[in-house]
Amino acid sequence: MRLTDASVAIRPRSTWEAMDLGVLLARQHRGLLMSAWALVSLPVFALLSLLLWDHPSIALLLFWWLKPAFERLPLYILSRALFGDTPSLKQALKAWPRLLKPQLLASLSWRRLSLSRSFTLPVQQLEGLDGLARQQRLRVLLPQSLRAARWLTLIGVHLEYVLWIGLMALFYLLLPRQIDIDWHWQKLLFAAQHEWLWLEHLSNAFYALILILWEPVYIACGFSLYLNRRTVLEAWDIELVFRQLRQRLLPVVAALLLGVGLLSMPFAQPVMAAEPPAPDTPRLLKQPLTSQASKDAIKALLQAPPFKNPETVTRWRLGEPLDKARGKPSSGWLKALLERFDSRIAGTLAHGLEILLWAVLFGLLAWLAWRYRDGLRTFVGRPKPRAHPIPSAAPQLFGLALGVETLPEDIAASAETLWPLQPREAMSLLYRGLLSRLLHDYQLPLKNADTEGQVLERLAQLREPALQAFSQELTAHWLNLAYGHRLPALQQQQALCEGWRRLFGPGAGQ
């Protein structure tokens, strides 16, 4: 890379300013980054959804776990675009399989839950370091940026889920009112096992769309943190100033040297080179400092600070192989695996395990509170207020008279008589009777401004499953007839009348 070709100003920045630079980089190349991410991630998401159609949660978990494999492509694009060599979409997609090969297993296993993944990815991908060399490099680069990298991941996780929930809420708000009434939460909970799988896969697709927008920004912020740390350590800004100064002064110096050479040519005199003294001359032999002593002094100086800073680290390690006396080499795969888990990785795993245990504890407390909510309500719940008759009940609702005196004695029989000739009056009679019963018998606080949906919401507070189911069915047919001019079938008409008799009997409102 050439620092003079950088498309941004090379200078030391604070960590938050460096992440802000990453947002600007992602915005500058947003079309290429989002298109590349969509073309590599959405086919994988679609394949997982088809293969695991009956298990949408597992499909989403696998797609989330594969995010490090997709994150290598935005980093490749940003690293090339930063120095003026922006690849095309075709070139980026062609390079993606090659980017997956190095250290893919590590990225999808013990490094998957690392909170500093966005910062360590450039060390792995751009510098090509692995094993001990990677650990030593991270010990130099990571300490000053570790906190910012972890905060970036935590903020990104919360931002993903907030956008995901917001997108699902927006989808729900855009549903027509009629579908909203039919989609009651009890129907979603007690429906058949495979009836609502398409809705779960649709919510999973919302998460995949959110990643198209956010993941390039996340990778760009981690890449900018990595560049800022290298700028501070390697003094890129000073090097860039010297290079620019050299480019400006090089023509002037060349012309000056040429002029001095031309002016000094007439006065040049041949000068015989002095013969260097022999190594065994008395002047050299009587020097107080010999060559060996100077070498020893230089070596001792290089072994002391600030050139070398020895540090004693105490940690657990495996002992000598047990079969060394037999002359057979023992398998060192366990030792090599444990050497990869240094103290920093162990601390990260311990922190993640602590978060997981706290989450399990709070989840268990929430489940116990929900499981024994009825018993807890006895001790901490407010006593239910006594039902007092409503002195001034609304005489009309939706333009319908709800007084007891305006209804016949046998509402179901009267509705059956009106069905053949006056179906609208029959449906109105049943719905008026229902509202009158809710208002006078159940003391439901209905208002003149309430809609059909609000009546059902207030009815849910009574905790009467049979009454709630009949009211939802009757309200749906009432809305179909009132706004869609669709009459219920003959069997549905008879079912409504029978349902009325089962709930209220033949009487009207006495």
Q: What is the pLDDT of residues 97-156, one digit of tens each?
A: 999 888 889 889 888 888 998 999 999 888 888 888 888 888 888 888 888 999 999 999
Look at 218 and 9; give whichever has higher pLDDT. 218
Domain ranges for the chain: 3-239, 396-504
- When mean pLDDT is compared across 278-287, 372-381, 441-450, the lowest value belongs to 278-287
DSSP annotation string for 174-200 = TS-HHHHHHS-HHHHHSS-TTTTHHHH
Exposed (0-12), middle (13-18) or buried (19+): which is 87, by Cβ within 10 Å? middle
- In a 3-state reduction of DSSP, which class is residue 442? coil
Residue 379, pLDDT above cutoff 70: no
Alpha helices in 52-196 (DSSP H): 56-65, 67-81, 89-100, 104-107, 117-125, 131-141, 146-173, 177-182, 185-189
Q: CA-based diameter of the chain, in Å?
A: 139
What percentage of the chain has pLDDT greater than the value 90?
20
What percentage of the chain has pLDDT greater than the value 70?
72
Residue 216, pLDDT above cutoff 70: yes
- When mean pLDDT is compared across 64-78, 122-136, 178-192, 438-452, the lowest value belongs to 178-192
Residue 392, pLDDT above cutoff 60: no
User: In the prediction, which pLDDT does 272 show?
Assistant: 47
Task: Give the pLDDT confidence of 367-378 residue by residue, as tens digits.
Answer: 888 887 776 666
